[in-house]
Amino acid sequence: MEKLAYEKPVINRISAGVPDKFGLGTNIKPVTHIDGVSVKELIEKYGSPLYVLSEKTIRETYQKALNAFKTRYQKVQFAWSYKTNYLNAVCNTYHQEGSWAEVVSGFEYQKAIANGVPANKIIFNGPDKNKEDLTLAIKNESLIHIDHQDEFYDIQSIAHEMKKKAKVAIRVNMDTGIFPKWVRFGFNLENGEAWAILNKIMADDGFELMGLHTHIGTYIMDANAYGVAATKLAQLAVRLEHKYNHYIKYIDMGGGFASKNTLKGAYLPGSDTCPSFDDYAEAIAYALQHSDIKYDQMPMLILETGRALIDDAGFLIGTALANKRLPDGRRSLIIDIGVNLLFTSFWYEHLIAPAQMTPPYTEDTIIYGPLCMNIDVIREAIKFPVIEKGENVVLSRIGAYNMTQWMQFITFRPKIVMIDTNGVTHVVRENENHETMNALDRVPEHLKGFDL
Ligand SMILES: *Cc1c(COP(=O)(O)O)cnc(C)c1O
């Protein structure tokens, strides 16, 4: 008889249906289908890992947000935050719904133009706008949101040279009672900087002041902070009325609404604690309606919501590569989804589920990605059922920032598919391959060829 190899024994607690700290079961429900399409079939057809977008969820979430605001404040306009997800198919879905574009670089600006967004419906934010970007934006009458003094002077000289009025707003940063205060963008309200630049703009015929803008932060869990910010911007607008008899066309409240994801270290799940669109809309609409802005001069309310609109529409599906016992006895699961594809795993505890039925038992598990890098951890600790090599997993709520902040690293970036509202699947971005990867490489003549 052959002698069996020695394996160190471990004792592990296996829990089945034991309540967790919230009194809920640890039972993880499998996600076998996305919008009626089988996860297994998606992987068979398009490969693993794979990003999946739900057009239905994009449109439904957008309508929900729009409705929350429209029922409280009629003149409302969304502008899609390109950096949150600038896949053309995603941008166009929002544009079809009526959303303008909000961009923060020359690259994103060109992308919005190429997608067919009318230039006067592009909001150009951010600290990085070079002279070419500004010249184009002024020529096109796009809405330029000034970030700092140097940009003001650039616009001033270009506008005078072109004999055109630049259509501008200023970004204002302020204390809304939340921490951390984002003070690095725009002009500070409390120290008078914002008012000072407004006076310069009003005194210069190279500018037409269109609006006031703020973007107080991201994943803001306190809807009241928006009420404070809207009140403060409205007060600035009233001050402009008094001094210049000038009525701004819009107040832009930026983005930053929390999605339902759960932050690492949070005690309760995000879906229980994050404000709803109604909560945010109520805070903002109340503040504007109760301001002293003249009734017949109420500005348009612009929202640049990113994360809260798209997160729920994105999924990342993948495959188990191996199960492994760590020396301390913990179970680890290695999947083909790494942190290079899931940038947000650094701060969210993403929902992760098996894509097939599993035994009811769960065990403390650490989930690793496929990279040969120690930091490639998708989940430090989760009670998870056993998944065999070759079986599949589904990560949900990953639509925001992952498809723009992803990294090309060690492996190729995979395909992205979108399931349309009829349940038909479309490839909306191809995977990388050797050819696309090498397309930008250049090898100097003397480095071509070698003998080993
Ligand atoms: C990133 C960004 C947004 C979108 O923010 P979310 O937190 O994703 O809603 C909106 N406006 C500006 C200026 C931004 O930089």
- Residue 273: which CATH number? 3.20.20.10
Give residue-wise pLDDT tens across range 402-418. Answer: 999 999 999 999 999 99
Q: How far apart are CA 30 and CA 386, in angstroms?
A: 12
* Residue 222 and residue 121 in one domain: yes
Q: Is 215 in the pocket of ligand 1 (CB under 6 A)?
A: yes
Cross-strand bridge partners of residue 250: 211, 300
Q: How far apart are CA 118 and CA 283, in angstroms?
A: 31
Classify burial at 449, counting beta carbons within 10 Å of its beta carbon; exposed 0-12, middle 13-18, buried 19 or more: exposed
* Residue 44 and residue 86 in one domain: no
* Residue 174 and residue 286 in one domain: yes
Give residue-wise pLDDT tens across range 372-428. Answer: 999 999 999 999 999 999 999 999 999 999 999 999 999 999 999 999 999 999 999
Atom of ligand 1 nearest to the CA of 171: 13
CATH code assigned at 327:
2.40.37.10
Among 311, 334, 350, which residue terminates a domain? 311
**pLDDT at residue 27 greater than cutoff 70:** no
* Residue 324 and residue 205 in one domain: no
Among 275, 295, 311, which residue terminates a domain? 311
Domain annotation covers residue 450: no
- Please tell me the predicted confidence (pLDDT) of residue 28: 81
* Residue 195 and residue 281 in one domain: yes
Structural domain harbouring 418: 33-52+312-433
Pocket test for ligand 1, best of 218, 310, 397 (most atoms within 8 A of CB): 218
Peptide bond before residue 180 is cis, with ω within 30 degrees of 0: yes
> What would the two tokens of residue 327 be?
């020396």
**pLDDT at residue 290 greater than cutoff 80:** yes
Ligand 1 center to 109 CA (angstroms):
15
Q: How far apart are CA 423 and CA 399, in angstroms?
A: 18
**Cβ count within 10 A of residue 201:** 22
- Please tell me the predicted confidence (pLDDT) of residue 232: 98
* Residue 42 and residue 63 in one domain: no
**What does R_g of the chain's alpha carbons equal in angstroms?**
25
Angle at which helices 277-289 and 55-70 cross, to 10°: 30
* Residue 301 and residue 204 in one domain: yes
Among 260, 292, 311, which residue terminates a domain? 311
- Please tell me the predicted confidence (pLDDT) of residue 140: 98
Domain annotation covers residue 5: no
Domain annotation covers residue 131: yes
Ligand 1 atom 3: residue of nearest CA? 255
Ligand 1 atom 5: residue of nearest CA? 255
Pocket test for ligand 1, best of 90, 147, 304, 403 (most atoms within 8 A of CB): 304
Q: Which residues of 399-415 are buried (b: 16+ CB within 10 A; e: fewer)?
A: bbbbbeebeeeebebbb
The number of distinct structural domains making up the chain is 2
pTM to 2 decimal places? 0.94
